[in-house]
Structure 1
Amino acid sequence: MKIIDINSIPRNISEDKPDQEIVAVLKRNRRKWYIVGFTAVLLAAAACFWFFYVRETRNLKAQDDVFQAIYAFEAGDFDKALKGDGPHKGFLEVIKQYPYTATANLACFYAGVAYMHQKEYDQAISFLSRFKASDFILQARAWCVMGDAYSEQKNHKQAAVYYMKAAHYKENNVYTPGYLVKAAIAFEADKQYKNAYNCYQEIVEKYPTSQYGSGLAIKEASRLSALL
């Protein structure tokens, strides 16, 4: 029998190195995906730029349209401020026509306060809850008015929640003590005497120079301590 030298048998080239054609295909596919990814990033950037550009353009138009509503609001004509008067838009129309703009956001605050004046508390809460701002005065004020609306509805527990949010949002010596007093009154109305006491104590300890710190807060904390 003839002995065959196995080393003399030709081997499949693919066992020693990758097929060059496959490598080339993989490289082409990789380049294609790079191009697709880069194009997607460019399109996303262009879309973001267009969105913000259009939004800012619409915001400038909204500012022009909301002027008369603000004028009516400051004059105490809250129905006209909300609904407009025909040629002039009210806050409700501005909010609807210019969503996602800074002006529509501010219009939600005005609309909420206007409804509060009209004693339409659910509507006031609805619009104020849509208002978002980094400004420590307006945002805290919006939560305080929501607390007022809940208080008017005798929902003192929920009122206290929003008064406390207002009080502890970017705390300061000017507004925080007043919000804490409102929270204390709401807590007491809800028979949460410990929480009411804590509000007054917070004023005494953190805001002793405020208009509530040296008199009312000390007196009320002393009175409530007897109920604990």
Structure 2
Amino acid sequence: MGTPAEIPAPRPSAAARVSPAAAVPVSLSPSRAADFMRCPLLYRLRVIDRLPEKPSEAATRGTVVHAVLERLFDAPAAERTAQRARSMVAGEWERLRTARPELASLFTAAEGAADPAALAAWLESAERLVDRWFSLEDPTRLEPAERELYVETVLESGLTLRGYVDRLDIAPATGDLRVVDYKTGKAPRPEYKDEPLFQMTFYALVLWRLRGVVPRRLQLVVPGRAGTC
């Protein structure tokens, strides 16, 4: 009888071939930390497995509105009007689309052709959010110390906490810090009501470690429901 053929050992799965050290995140943003607290599997899919996610109209609208509210403060105070802000929406969309061409697919018809009506309706919805912001804050009376401020700090464990603060205001008389975060989506459901607060306290922690000062106020601005907290 011949020698039995050697049966090759099964190959380990892709997940098993990943070094344990490679799967350990070295940095953490408030969004990813919130993912983990909400659903550890969601965190794994986004951070460790890095599954691609399709762009959404809501998230893209939020990016455009954030850009408008950031760059509006480039203008002199008297020129920070609602009309000016609305006129910036289309330009910020074009800027974003140029940087990320795949976003154009959000506004295409079934056969793949561009859908101008869908794009126009979406731009109008972004303009409405910008309009509502003016009912919450008066940009002619604000002079932010920082806009879209990148912050990071390294914990004793070696983990880096990082993120972008939408706006940081500093009181001229006292030096008190106010952290402002814009939320352009829907109001969070009751079971997730603490998530926005967690993000704000995350930024407060990083700023305290960087500047040695605890922010005096954490302000969430929600144009989608015309409110602040």
Fold-level similarity (TM above 0.5): no
More strand by share: 2
With structure 1 as the length reference, what TM-score do the two structures score? 0.24
- Larger of the two Rg values belongs to structure: 1
The structure with more helix, counted as a fraction of residues: 1
Higher relative contact order (CA 8 A, sep 6+): 2
